[in-house]
């Protein structure tokens, strides 16, 4: 019987899942998160309407135009391409920026609000709390990407015809297979954000000010993006986390070209491990004063 008394005190195996669930609930109930998701959902609508007005709705227009976001010339033929265009437009900035806000706020925001020590009073353990915070951020990566994709799909279906999808190689696939590829691309985009989420989490453990952590993460993102466009720095560019981001387009080739995608996923995993363990080292050894 004494054994049975001890059991409730032991963290159940599903305990961290409960913590994760409550964390996700808290994060997604915040107005800030909802506003971010609304901005992400708005981008495809804006792009779709802009393309519609620009081409006057005549199919086949806008082809071979000036420099624009990827795939935009195809949108008028097939609304599904709005998904690809929107992801290509949001991936360089909007998506990672919102990840930066969520990740930067994760630890530092709790510290700033004075709630971090209460979280740690529960027998959660710092490591587990950190893992849960990272998992919440990753969930937001996936949700944010899916919001962009679904909003783009809805806008594209409303404004443009749907039908067979022309791949980059010039082969056509059915609309159903096109949807599958779109889903795969959304997953690839979400995975591309794993690295920046880890960097944001690490920065978040460094400071007790949520705003500072968010600003640093977003500032770092912009800096790295600029570095990635300077041709003189091509020696270090393969190691910058946004370098292979646009490789998701390789899923639209026939056959799929995996080379760059693999490099992208490997790089993101590396960033996740390095900055994740750095965050762990910092978070488990620092004094929690707030």
What does the binding site for other proteins look like in residue numbers (CB under 8 A)?
A: 6, 9-11, 59-60, 63-71, 73-74, 76-78, 88-89, 91-93, 120-121, 123-128, 163-164, 166-172, 225-226, 228-229, 246, 249-250, 253, 257, 259, 270, 273-275, 277-278, 280-282, 284-285, 287
CB 57, min distance to other proteins, A? 14
CB 67, min distance to other proteins, A? 4
Nearer of residues 29 and 285 to other proteins, judged by Cβ: 285
CB 176, min distance to other proteins, A? 16
Give the CA diameter of the chain: 78
Q: Is 201 exposed, middle or buried (0-12, 13-18, 19+ CB in 10 A)?
A: buried
Nearer of residues 146 and 278 to other proteins, judged by Cβ: 278
| Residues 208 and 152: beta-carbon distance below 8 Å | no
CB 222, min distance to other proteins, A? 9
Nearer of residues 92 and 139 to other proteins, judged by Cβ: 92
Three state DSSP letters for 61-85: CCCCCCCCCCCHHHCCCCCCHHHHH
Tokens of 138: 């990753």
Instruction: Assign 173 to helix, strand or coil.
Output: strand
| Residues 244 and 267: beta-carbon distance below 8 Å | yes
CB 98, min distance to other proteins, A? 15
Residue 173 pairs in a beta bridge with: 165
CB 69, min distance to other proteins, A? 4
Nearer of residues 29 and 66 to other proteins, judged by Cβ: 66
Nearer of residues 28 and 257 to other proteins, judged by Cβ: 257
Alpha-carbon distance values, 117 to 112, 123, 133 (Å): 11, 11, 15
CB 59, min distance to other proteins, A? 6
Tokens of 239: 């190691």
Nearer of residues 88 and 220 to other proteins, judged by Cβ: 88
Distance of CA 205 to the CA centre of its chain: 20
Instruction: Assign 289 to helix, strand or coil.
Output: coil
**For 69, which DSSP code?**
S
Residue 166 neighbours by CB distance under 10 Å:
16
């Amino acid at each position: 019987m004494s054994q049975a008394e001890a059991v409730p005190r032991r963290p159940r195996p599903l305990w961290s899942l409960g913590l994760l669930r409550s964390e996700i609930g808290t994060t997604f109930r915040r107005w800030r998160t909802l506003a971010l998701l609304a901005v992400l959902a708005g981008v495809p609508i804006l792009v779709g309407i802009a393309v519609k007005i620009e081409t006057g709705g005549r199919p086949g227009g806008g082809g071979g135009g000036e420099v624009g976001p990827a795939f935009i010339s195809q949108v008028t033929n097939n609304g599904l391409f709005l998904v690809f265009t929107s992801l290509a437009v949001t991936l360089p900035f909007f998506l990672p920026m919102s990840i930066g806000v969520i990740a930067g706020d994760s630890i530092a925001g709790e510290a700033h609000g004075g709630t971090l020590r209460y979280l740690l009073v529960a027998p959660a353990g710092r490591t587990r709390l950190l893992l849960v915070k990272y998992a919440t951020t990753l969930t937001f990566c996936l949700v944010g990407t899916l919001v962009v994709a679904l909003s783009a799909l809805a806008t594209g279906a409303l404004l443009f015809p749907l039908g067979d999808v022309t791949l980059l190689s010039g082969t056509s696939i059915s609309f159903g297979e096109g949807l599958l590829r779109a889903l795969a691309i959304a997953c690839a985009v979400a995975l591309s954000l794993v690295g920046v989420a880890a960097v944001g989490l690490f920065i978040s453990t460094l400071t007790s000010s949520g705003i500072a952590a968010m600003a640093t993460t977003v500032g770092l993102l912009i800096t790295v993006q600029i570095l990635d466009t300077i041709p003189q720095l091509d020696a270090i560019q393969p190691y910058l986390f946004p370098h292979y981001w646009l490789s998701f387009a390789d899923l639209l080739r026939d056959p799929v070209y995996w080379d760059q995608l693999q490099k992208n996923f490997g790089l993101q995993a590396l960033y996740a491990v390095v900055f994740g363990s750095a965050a762990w080292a910092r978070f488990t050894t620092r004094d929690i004063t707030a």
